[in-house]
Amino acid sequence: MQLVFLGPPGAGKGTQAAILARELGIPQISTGDMFRAAVRDQTPLGREAQRYMEAGQLVPDEVTIGIVEERLRADDCRDGFILDGFPRTVPQAEALDRILAAAGRPLDRAVEFAIEEEEVVRRLAGRRTCSECGAVYNIYTRPPRQAGVCDSCGGPLAQREDDREETVRARLAVYGQQTAPLIGYYKESGRLVRIDASRTPGEVTAALKEALGVA
């Protein structure tokens, strides 16, 4: 199954992509995680991406499309993938359609995670991420067993730089201007599925699986 997960920052795309990818045995491809790894390693890509991410802006399309195109060529994408956070602009969506058409395997569905702005601000204020394995927690809704320590690998938990309220507001504005138009793009071509992302993680997973016919 070839899927795109769309929605504002903090809607729960990454949380649900990790669960579904594990169950379906396909990779979760998060452009945000790819950029954060490059920033951590201070590669040329990371140095370029960093200034956009810290300001809550999008990394330029030509850079982002290039890394996704390369990633989709990897062997583990043969049976499908979940794109988490890509595409985020109409040119990225058009490029993805071109890449998949050239490979003869079109996108199955784009899933919209619908949620109110104030709820995502609350969620992102509580998000903590493992610095070692990337596991995602929330101090309010999904706390680790021991404060500040990852349940899975024991690594330290940290707040993402771009989860400060001011940057979250900038990311939400960018979402409204540049990414929300993709909802119409996928709706018009009959590929959109809409999920109410404001419910509990378990309820969202159940709704997602039912909508995709993998329950």
Is residue 127 at the binding interface for ligand AP5, with CB under 6 A as the rule? yes
DSSP states of 5-54:
EE-STTSSHHHHHHHHHHHHT--EEEHHHHHHHHHHTT-HHHHHHHHHHH
- Active-site residue, selected from the candidate residues 13, 36, 123, 128: 13
Distance CA 166, CA 146 (A): 28
Is 36 a residue of the active site?
no
Distance CA 156, CA 137 (A): 12
Cβ nearer to ligand AP5, comparing 52 with 185? 52
Is residue 14 at the binding interface for ligand AP5, with CB under 6 A as the rule? yes
Identity of residue 26: I
Distance CA 156, CA 35 (A): 20
Is residue 136 at the binding interface for ligand AP5, with CB under 6 A as the rule? yes
User: Shortest Cβ distance from residue 161 to ligand AP5 (Å)?
Assistant: 10
**Interacting residues with ligand AP5 (CB under 6 A):** 7, 9-15, 30-32, 35, 52-53, 56-59, 64, 85-86, 88, 92, 123, 126-127, 136-138, 141-142, 162, 171, 200-201, 204
Active-site residues, by number, are: 13, 88, 127, 160, 171
